[in-house]
Structure 1
Amino acid sequence: MITLHLHPTLQLTDEVFEQLCRQNPDLRLERNAQGELIAMAPAGSESSRQNLSLSAQLWQWNQQTKLGVAFDSSAGFILPNGAIRSPDAAWVAKSRWERLTPAQRRQFAPLCPDFVLELKSPTDDLATLQAKLQEYMDNGAQLGWLIDPEARQVYCYRSGQAVQRLEHPATLAGDPVLPNFVMDLGLIWG
């Protein structure tokens, strides 16, 4: 991950950022709340495999329940603090998604997901990801999971509660935000 510090007179507005992303589709870009541009390396093959497994489980649960909309790592969200973030997987309750206009749905959605998931790759800094999860929570997320496959740990973030660190859990339960959703971590721990 590289943070690019832009000249103070260069305004990286939502529109300019979206245009930059569209013109550079091979780059994974985010903008932090201070307006700095963050470029992230593509995921390694193992991280990509793990992320697909996690996203697929969320997607499948959502297809069965029809309670909201699930997203993969390519979706961007404009958080209330002005950051534009792309979690590895996310979910938004149906009622919140339906309040957005069609134009808002086509662009980076101007909301914080109800659920976010970040999967730590070998090149990621744990403290940076923990700060990112806290940022999601501070901006309205109700549930967040930070999964560290190498350490076999999961950091669970729940609105209004202290962060909980779990050692090598077999599953994660999403209640009450994701009713009856249980994520199987067996393919992650391999």
Structure 2
Amino acid sequence: MVATVKSLTLEEFLQLPETKPTSEFINGAVIQKPMPQGEHSRLQWKLCEAINQIAEPQKIACAFPELRCTFGGNAIVPDISVFRWDRIPRQPSGRVANRFDLHPDWAIEILSPDQSQTKVLGNLLHCSQHGTELGWLLDPAEASILVVFADQRVQLLRAERPLPVPNGISLFLTVEQVFGWLSV
């Protein structure tokens, strides 16, 4: 017996209760992200901290972990979404809005052991197609970072290679420094 699955619209998906780990809506399909593990959590926390220490006090940008971003017909949850200060959705009171119906300026994904690199790279390419300036795909197993530029050019970086960051964010990191955070 074959079960038929009712296809959802983006709006129907957004009305569903949240799942743990979170689910994304990509090209009409609901896909649950894998549960983050130690390396993933450590890299996510350290990158958010490094970006926010540089960019937030000067009101340049802000890094958000696990934030649902809805744009271009998809609802994705990058591991880190960085928004320029003037693009952060706000409530009339000035507080951060709960819904982010726009692309991040910088999207960072951290590959989990059982995660498809193609699917995650597809999310970063979707971001760049809709205005994201820069994407990073960290692969802890390979100690490498794939960089996705706004024109969808992809570059693989390793070791002491400096990492590109969006204009105006004075963050200087190498691939080696990023993966060095895994040693505690």
Residue 151 (structure 1) aligned to one of 142, 154, 157:
142
1:115 matched to 2:77? The reply is no
Q: Which residue of structure 2 lines up, in the alignment, with residue 102 of structure 1?
A: 91
Given that 1:50 and 1:187 are in contact with CA atoms closer than 8 Å, whether structure 2 keeps it comes out as: no
* Divergent runs of 4+, >3 A: none
Q: Which residue of structure 2 lines up, in the alignment, with residue 179 of structure 1?
A: 169
Q: Which residue of structure 2 lines up, in the alignment, with residue 136 of structure 1?
A: 127
CA deviations on 1:40-99 (whole Å, 9 max, x unpaired) are: 2211122212221122112212223311232112x11111x21011111111112222xx
- Partner Cα distance (2:34, 2:22) in 1: 7
| 1:170 CA drift (Å) | 5.7
Given that 1:137 and 1:157 are in contact with CA atoms closer than 8 Å, whether structure 2 keeps it comes out as: yes
1:43 matched to 2:36? The reply is yes
1:30 matched to 2:19? The reply is no
Given that 2:54 and 2:171 are in contact with CA atoms closer than 8 Å, whether structure 1 keeps it comes out as: yes
Q: What are structure 2's unaligned runs of at least 5 residues?
A: none
1:52 matched to 2:50? The reply is no
1:7 matched to 2:2? The reply is no
**Could you tell me the percent identity over the aligned residues?**
21
- Partner Cα distance (2:145, 2:160) in 1: 8
1:78 matched to 2:70? The reply is yes
Given that 1:152 and 1:189 are in contact with CA atoms closer than 8 Å, whether structure 2 keeps it comes out as: no
Whichever residue aligns with residue 20 of structure 1, its letter is P
User: SS at the partner of 1:58?
Assistant: helix
RMSD over aligned Cα atoms: 2.5
Give the structure-1-normalised TM-score: 0.80
| 1:30 CA drift (Å) | 0.8
Given that 1:112 and 1:141 are in contact with CA atoms closer than 8 Å, whether structure 2 keeps it comes out as: yes
Given that 1:29 and 1:39 are in contact with CA atoms closer than 8 Å, whether structure 2 keeps it comes out as: yes
Given that 1:175 and 1:181 are in contact with CA atoms closer than 8 Å, whether structure 2 keeps it comes out as: no
| 1:19 CA drift (Å) | 4.1
| 1:188 CA drift (Å) | 4.3
CA deviations on 1:80-128 (whole Å, 9 max, x unpaired) are: x21011111111112222xx4528x533311000001001111111122
Give the structure-2-normalised TM-score: 0.82
User: SS at the partner of 2:163?
Assistant: strand
Q: What are structure 1's unaligned runs of at least 5 residues?
A: none
| Higher-helix-fraction structure | 1
| 1:12 CA drift (Å) | 4.6
